[in-house]
A and B are shown apart, each in its own frame.
Chain A
Amino acid sequence: MTTGGTAVWRQLARRPAVRTLGPFVPVVALWWALAALEVFPPAFFVGPDVVLAELAGLLERGILPGYLSDSLTRLWYGVLFGLLIGLPLGFLIGMSPLARRLTWPLLLFFQAVADIAWLPIVIVWFGFSLTAVTFVIVYTIVFPLVLSIVAGIEQVPQELVRAARSLGASRLRIFVEVILPGALPSVASGVRTGLGYGWRALVAAEIIVGTSGIGFMMFDARRVGDVAEVFLGMIVLGILWYALDALFLAPFERATVERWGLVRQEAAR
């Protein structure tokens, strides 16, 4: 390769889109080669061309968009209720040392009963329904969120609270201007972890409850041995979460840590 060529390459490599998507090119190429050479039997492993054809077929019949919107609706409801319950609960518990002491063991325990273990009893209660799936997602989001909010409030340096109090700040002002910003980085990372667990729970719930959605699509395809559809489902799930994480959650977390995390670092010095 000429030096001019490498310069062009370097220029290209600096673009974020190329840096992010570039690594996928050789991986897809390798995948294609493995499939074309039939290293693995085609009943277990198909190439990207077959998956693309499957995608076209499912799009045409409207199955994929339908399932996708089902999954996203469930996730949306789960996240909405999860945040509505988790945020106030976390701050309520975090603000009172007694409440913290009394609920901490229970929080740890309920966090430890893995969300998926709730599925069987939830199915007994609500049947194979949207409520069952939503319940599990809400559960999955609430506990990591509450735990990290409580931990976050605990980490707010006591000097700051005392300083604000001795300057005559009211309880409300201390909450709004000291504790809330101080705990915000933990809240942000709690939201991100909670959503990550929620996302996995959604897939598991759809596989087990099995009425519609991407998880159901994959498991149904597995039952009839349609590898292409299973691959497609995994790719759709991966892209969806990557987009969600890269476009919303990571910037949100970074912004709060950059903006508010400094408070803590300064105080720690």
Chain B
Amino acid sequence: MTAPRAPRIRSVLWFLAPFAALLAVWAAVVAATGVPMRIFPQVTDVARALVGMTVSGELTAHLAASLRRVLIGSVLAVVTALPFGIALGASPRLSAFFAPLLRFSVALAGIAWIPIATLWLGYGDGAVIFIVWNAMFFALAYNTMLGVRRIPLPLLRAARSMGTGRLRMFWEVLLPGALPSVVTGLRVGLGYGWRGLVAAEIIATGAGLGYALFLAQKTFSTDVIIASMVIIGALWLIMDRLLLAPLERRTVQRWGMTVAVS
């Protein structure tokens, strides 16, 4: 597993170099054209805003609020969508019934629920968590269903003919078989959930990264806006590349084999 150090450092450099170039171009263009900060901030302004937000503790508060909501929302989504998706995948009748409904709901999921969520749950944490859950639920359920359907029939029959009980069937055949697809669903769903979170925070709360953006827009503080955007982007990149992508790769390596056997 331990890759030689030099190539790894080189690949990190290759990853960072384009950002350095972008920053240089940004700094040069702003300096050359003299755009007022009200329209577009200089790199140093954004850096100062970042430091200011960190020192004042604002950043930690917003980060904590946003991450807590994503965590609660996604745990709820996994707990509810997994059993539902597996049930759908295991029963052709259920899936025939729910497939059009799911497709309709996927189209709606997330942001379109913001007005009704704020009406039902009020402006606050409840509504935002609901949006994250909602945005993830359908993608996750749908992909889980696909995953179960892709389990080779001989495997299911073999397990059944050896007298596997329902519970063991779930834990030892259906869940591991569907896992690669589940992780894909998780990744797609979190993508929707993250967007839903930002939108819901802009509209519905008094804390979180989306709210920081909204507040800065009201006062035309472009430095804080760009700083918040950078944080939102960096955070998602970290979550997706360092957490979800390796998870996806590992599950496909570990469990994807069962599917490839057929």
> Which A residues are closer than 8 A to B by beta carbons?
19-24, 27, 44, 101-106, 108-110, 112-121, 123-125, 197, 199-201, 203-204, 207-208, 215, 218-219, 221-222, 225, 227, 230-231, 233-234, 237-239, 241-242, 245-246
B213 touches which of A103, A120, A219 (Cβ 8 Å): A120
A215 CA / B226 CA spacing, docked (Å): 26
Docked complex Cα distance between A105 and B234 (Å): 11
Q: How far is the CB of A112 from chain B (nearest CB, A)?
A: 4
Smallest distance from the beta carbon of B241 to chain A beta carbons, Å? 7
- A114-B233, A199-B107, A234-B112 known; 13 new pairs, CB 8 Å cut-off, are A19-B96, A20-B100, A105-B15, A112-B240, A113-B232, A113-B236, A114-B195, A117-B209, A124-B220, A124-B222, A200-B195, A234-B108, A238-B104
A109 to B103 alpha-carbon distance, docked (Å): 29
Q: Which of B21, B107, B115, B198 is the one whose CB lies under 8 Å from A117?
A: B198
Check B98–A23 contact: CB distance below 8 A.
Answer: yes
Digitize B184-197: 1 where CB-to-A-CB distance is under 8 Å, 0 elsewhere: 00000000101100
A159 to B220, CA, bound (A): 54
Chain B residue at minimal CB-CB distance from A219:
B115
Interface residues of B in 8-40 (CB under 8 A from A): 14-19, 21-22, 38-39
Output the nearest chain B residue to A45 by Cβ-Cβ distance.
B120
CA A112 to CA B242, docked complex, whole Å: 13
On whether A101 and B39 interact (CB within 8 A), knowing A207-B114, A208-B202, the answer reads no
> Which A residues are in CB contact (< 8 Å) with B147?
none
User: Main SS of chain A's interface residues?
Assistant: helix
Check if B105 sits within 8 Å of A238, measured CB to CB.
Answer: yes
B75 CB-CB contact with A under 8 Å: no
Could you tell me which B residues sit within 8 Å of A by CB distance?
A: 14-19, 21-22, 38-39, 96-101, 103-105, 107-108, 110-116, 118-120, 192, 194-195, 198-199, 202-203, 209-210, 213-214, 216-217, 220, 222, 225-226, 228-230, 232-234, 236-237, 240-241
Check A203 against B107 for contact (C-beta < 8 Å): no
Interfacial chain B residues near A110, Cβ < 8 Å: 233
Query: In the complex the two chains form, is A233's CB within 8 Å of B115's CB?
Result: yes
Known: A117-B210, A118-B229. A23 touches B115 (CB 8 A): no
Beyond A102-B17, A109-B237, whether A230 also contacts B115 by CB under 8 A is yes
Query: Could you name 11 residue pairs across A and B whose Cβ atoms are closer than 8 Å?
Result: A20-B100, A23-B99, A27-B101, A102-B17, A105-B16, A121-B225, A124-B220, A218-B115, A221-B115, A222-B118, A230-B116
CB distance from A142 to the nearest CB of B (A): 15
Find out whether the CB atom of B229 lies under 8 angstroms from the CB atom of A121: yes
Asked whether, in the complex, the Cβ of B213 is within 8 Å of the Cβ of A222, the reply is no
CB-based nearest A residue for B105: A238
Interface centre among B110, B111, B230, B240 (most CB of A within 10 A): B111
A23 touches B100 (CB 8 A): yes
Instruction: Report yes or no: B233 in contact with A208, Cβ–Cβ below 8 A.
Output: no
Given the complex of chains A and B, what is the CA–CA distance between A102 and B14 in angstroms? 7
Please name all residues of chain A whose beta carbon is closer than 8 Å to the beta carbon of B216 when the two chains form the complex: 120
Task: Report Cα–Cα, A20/B119, bound state, in Å.
Answer: 30
Chain B residues with Cβ below 8 Å from A115 are 195
Chain A residues in 8 Å Cβ range of B15: 105
Instruction: Name the residue on B nearest A214 (C-beta).
Output: B112
> Judging by beta carbons under 8 Å apart, are B116 and A117 in contact?
no
